[in-house]
Amino acid sequence: MKEIVVLSGKGGTGKTSIVASLAVLAENKVLADCDVDAADLDILLDPSIQEKHDFAGGKVAFIDSEKCARCNICAQVCRFDAITDLKVDPLNCEGCGFCSHVCPVDAITMQPSFSGNWFISSTKYGPLVHARLGIGQENSGKLVAEVKRQAKIIAQSTGASWIIIDGPPGTGCPVISSLSGASTALLVTEPTLSGVHDLKRIIEVCQHFKVPALVCINKFDINEENTRLIEKHCQSLNISVAAKIPFDTVVTEAMVQGKPVLEYTKGRVSQEIEKLWNAIDSL
Amino acid sequence: MIISVASGKGGTGKTMVSTSLAASIKNNYNVQLLDADVEEPNSHIFLKPVFETSHAVSINVPVVNEDRCNHCGKCAEVCAFNAIAVVKDFVLTFPELCHGCGACSYLCPRRAINEAPNQIGTVETGKAGSISFVQGKLDIGQTMPTPVVRKVKELTSREHISIIDASPGTSCPVIAAIKDSDFCLLVTEPTPFGLNDLKLAVETVKQMGIPCGLILNRAGVGDSRVEEYCQKENIPILLTIPLDLNIARLYSKGTTLAEGLPQWQENFKEVFRKIREITGERNSST
């Protein structure tokens, strides 16, 4: 079983649209949407939810005002400014529990904080594990880990050949969690200076965690000079540029129809995505 | 005044909007731009600041003095993040998991734990012409952007119009970036992804009690559902930027709209005027 994670550094480069089309092409796979902050893969795959689970990733302090002796030691030790006037601001609370350990009258308990939900769904392309993080929640990395764990359980029980993971933007906690244990990272970039800058950073993250990378340049014809810059950079690092997808409004049209672009049209965009899949498949 | 720029979905044009707004009003106001998208800071590409200072952002992680330690295990017991473990007769620490809360060192009965800074990122400051520039950057391989965002925010100047470029999403680094702002400018595109993630962003700012308005980018593709949603939710659309290959090319070269197509400066000034009107109304009604 191979695990392929689609990342980009910069947001909005086309990760989800590409994953949805890979879902059409790959056989015998499990899909996982690990962009738990802004999960959009379901919009293209039309899942029917089979299982829904609560996810409590972290904890938040709660002060029992009846027990509280108003000594304010809790606020003095808290390094996250989460306690003011003997009340906890759940948005600031890091869940460390320091306050609960120092409270002389045991008025503080750490309570599980609802962080979101995760789902197992069926789609016409195969099983999909996806999630929704509650607004402003910590622990998106833990929720990502849970989504991946579930995807792996399904893949093992069904003997799947692939787990295809739609990853989040950025380089932080949920990205590192998505990347851990992956066989290959597919990096989707665009030929803008921001895209190039962020590609370099995400390549470094892959190198740091020793996950081999493959690059796809989306909307490559928006700025062919920058496209050459990306190709050169990848070449110097011995990273293959597996496909160059042209800018085409069919990608958005397909999204509006709620379909993977590969099912919407057989044009140039779809041909390049097929080429991309062949490159991944032959790794 | 503090204006934060957020989106939910990535790649909708936050940085283009932040930098173009800053460049459009810089002749009329003291402007500060804070790039709080510390995982992928890109505003510097557009404003090309000259950096003057650079400071490490660190969190304090435990350092165990083995001579004092009797391996009682209290530190591991109190750590909520599994960043310290006691294995028989020695102590293991995992700085990358540590949130720097300080509980272990404070609660160690033998006072055997000191704290030492562990760098997770940097905050740089400089000038882009008359614009004061601040950016945070998370080090590669580090998992916690929020402390870096908080450091960036500490440099918010009340004498300036401060524009904060936030990261995509709605989780803690975004909350830290937009907290305490007077207005949140949301940027999205008229697509199903753009709408879905806009709803999450709107829910976030509403929960935080921050007034918001929308900039609709790449209008012309997609559908009308974002506009319908805004009408229903009473969210003002402050500016519409069309899907235009010229604009896309400017963006690809790292040029702000204000600089590349100067006629857009008036549009961004108008956005700023509307924001003042909305926040002014709000202040006078409270």
Each of the 283 residues of chain A gets a pLDDT tens digit; together they read 999 999 999 999 999 999 999 999 999 999 999 999 899 999 999 999 999 999 988 899 999 999 999 999 999 999 999 999 999 998 889 999 999 999 999 999 999 888 899 999 999 999 999 999 887 776 688 899 999 999 999 999 999 999 999 999 999 999 999 999 999 999 999 999 999 999 999 999 999 999 999 999 999 999 999 999 999 999 999 999 999 999 999 999 999 999 999 999 999 999 999 999 999 999 8
Which residue's structure tokens are 């950073």? Answer: A201
B139 touches chain A (CB under 8 A): no
Count of Cβ atoms closer than 10 Å to residue B47 Cβ:
25
Which B residues, 9 through 48, put their C-beta within 8 Å of a C-beta on chain A?
9-12, 15, 39-40, 42, 45
Domain assignment present for B201: yes
Pair B131, B199 in one domain: yes
Task: Tell whether B128 is covered by a domain.
Answer: yes
Based on the domain organization, do B196 and B253 belong to the same domain?
yes
Token digits of residue A16:
């989800």
CATH of the domain at B97: 3.30.70.20
Question: What CATH number is attached to the domain comprising B281?
Answer: 3.40.50.300
Same domain, yes or no: B83 and B154: no
Q: Please indicate, yes or no, if residue B116 is contained in any of the structural domains.
A: no
DSSP annotation string for A203-248 = HHHHHHTT--EEEEEETGGG-HHHHHHHHHHHHHTT-EEEEEEPP-
Determine the length of chain A: 283
Residues of B in contact with A229 (CB under 8 A): none
In a domain, B281, yes or no: yes
Q: Are residues B105 and B144 in the same domain?
A: no
Q: Which residues contact A107 (CB under 8 A, 6 or more apart)?
A: A63, A64, A65, A67, A68, A69
Helix (H) or strand (E) holding B124: strand B113-128
CB-based contact B134:B33 (threshold 8 Å)? yes
Q: Which domains does chain A have, with CATH numbers?
A: 2-56+115-281 (3.40.50.300), 59-113 (3.30.70.20)
Task: Judge if B170 and B281 occupy the same domain.
Answer: yes
CA distance B126 to chain A (A): 20
- Cα–Cα distance measured from residue A103 to residue A53, given in angstroms and rounded to the nearest whole number: 34
**Strand B2-6 relative to strand A48-55, pairing:** unpaired
Structural domain total, chain B: 2
B126 and B7 in one domain?
yes
Residues of the domain holding B87: 66-111
Claim: this prediction has a pTM higher than 0.80: yes
Tell me, yes or no, whether B197 and B234 share the same domain.
yes
Each residue's pLDDT tens digit, B48-101 = 999 999 999 999 999 999 999 999 999 999 999 999 999 888 999 999 889 999
Q: Reduce the DSSP state of residue B198 to 3 states and report it.
A: helix
Q: Are residues B159 and B35 in the same domain?
A: yes
Residue B10 within any structural domain of the chain: yes
Query: Per the domain annotation, does B87 fall within a domain?
Result: yes
Same domain, B274 and B177: yes
Residue A121, strand partner residues: A49, A128
A132 — phi, psi (to 5°)? -140, 120
Longest CA–CA separation in chain B, Å: 71
Same domain as B195, residue B133: yes
Closest residue in B to A13 (Cα–Cα)? B11
A222/B80 touch (CB, cutoff 8 Å), yes or no = no
Amino acid at B139: D
H or E segment and range at residue A16: helix A15-25
Instruction: Verify whether the Cβ–Cβ distance A135 to B102 is below 8 Å.
Output: no
How many whole angstroms from its chain centre is CA A145? 10
User: Nearest-CA distance from B260 to chain A in Å?
Assistant: 15
Same domain (yes/no): B247, B183: yes
Residues B103 and B211 in one domain: no
What is the residue whose two structure tokens read 């106001």? B29
- Measured in angstroms, the CA of A156 and the nearest CA of chain B are apart by 28
Residue B198 lies in a domain: yes
Query: What are the chain A neighbours of B221 within 8 Å (beta carbons)?
Result: 249, 252-253
Q: How far apart are CA A203 and CA A155, in angstroms?
A: 27
